[in-house]
Structure 1
Amino acid sequence: MTSEITIRPIKAADTHALRHQVLWPQESLDYVKLNNDEQGRHYGAFRNGKLVSVISLFVDGHVARFRKFATRPDCQGQGIGSQLLRHTLEEAHTHGAQRIWCDARAINEAFYRAFGLEPEGNRFYRGTIPYIRMAKDL
């Protein structure tokens, strides 16, 4: 039985622990903080009152970018991140964005393709991790 998932805005600081745990556990906590975090809109997915997935959205005119999308490992593959990403795409559109993009870990390309995002440009690396820019019109 799947628990009820609620999605709501959260503060940038509320995203840091989950970003760190999921994305860059080998780095310092400061590594997952963004210089422009305060300009972003941050959303959390909660299950049974616990924060299990986070994403940060930055809208600049008609273009939006989402960053630091992280779901707790024991909650992955259950549709929670998908719900959060759908919510974020809707929010970007609501806030005037006509296009959205992200720098996706290459291993997650198929996940993002399921939401209509397509690769743009060549793979690049952050440390040893391959990434690809993915984007779509809203």
Structure 2
Amino acid sequence: MTEIRIADWASERETLLAIRFAVFVHEQGVPAELEEDAEDAKALHLLALSPDRQAIGTGRLLANGHIGRMAVHRDWRGRGVGSALLHTLLAEARRAGLRTVFLNAQCTAEPFYRRFGFQPEGEVFEDAGIPHRRMVRVLEDG
């Protein structure tokens, strides 16, 4: 069973960045300098661990409700890891008292986020050369 837990940026930065670099930089060609930003030190980060304790996924939540940096290692996609990460990020957003959350989804991931109640907002735009669309979800209580 996959474990999802809150990660400490200060002590687990390298682990979290290794996942993000594997997915965004190496697979998708995002420039390495775009993968870490000033928000990382302030964000709530999640880490997904495989049954044998390998780091396999991550995501973050900012205080303004922005969910981002969702990444799951290629070998673990389609096995519920991304869903578990997003479910936990939504629970943490509720716990923080947020009423809405938003993200900039890669267009290929829009159907995934729609399954969690996110609705597209605005036009498609490019970020790091990849088409994205802003998606928003109002959080219900509980």
TM more than 0.5: yes
For the structure 1 residues 20 and 133, does the alpha-carbon distance in structure 2 shift closer, same or farther, using more than 3 Å as the test?
Answer: same
1:59 shift after superposition: 1.6
1:127 shift after superposition: 3.7
Checking the alignment, whether the CA contact within 8 Å between 2:24 and 2:30 is kept in structure 1 is no
Distance in 2 between residues matched to 1:50 and 1:33, nearest whole Å: 21
For the structure 1 residues 123 and 28, does the alpha-carbon distance in structure 2 shift closer, same or farther, using more than 3 Å as the test?
Answer: closer
Structure 1 residue 44 corresponds to structure 2 residue 41: no
Q: Give runs of aligned pairs for residues 1-138 of structure 1, distance below 5 A.
A: 4-12=1-9, 13=13, 14-25=15-26, 26-27=29-30, 29-47=32-50, 48-60=52-64, 64-138=65-139
Structure 1 residues not aligned, in runs of 5+: none
Q: Provide, for residues 66-120 of structure 1, a one-character-per-residue CA deviation record: whole Å limited to 9, x for no partner.
A: 1110000000011111011101100011011100000000010000000000000
Checking the alignment, whether the CA contact within 8 Å between 1:17 and 1:29 is kept in structure 2 is no
**Matched residue of 1:24: which SS?**
helix
More helix by share: 2
1:27 shift after superposition: 4.8
For the structure 1 residues 65 and 27, does the alpha-carbon distance in structure 2 shift closer, same or farther, using more than 3 Å as the test?
Answer: closer
The runs of at least 4 consecutive aligned structure 1 residues that moved more than 4 Å come to none
More strand by share: 1
Distance in 2 between residues matched to 1:66 and 1:22, nearest whole Å: 17
Identical pairs, percent: 28
Structural RMSD (CA):
1.3
1:135 shift after superposition: 0.7
- The number of equivalent residue pairs is 132
1:123 shift after superposition: 0.3
Checking the alignment, whether the CA contact within 8 Å between 1:66 and 1:102 is kept in structure 2 is yes
What residue identity is the alignment partner of 1:35? A
Please report the TM-score for the alignment, with normalisation by the length of structure 2. Answer: 0.88
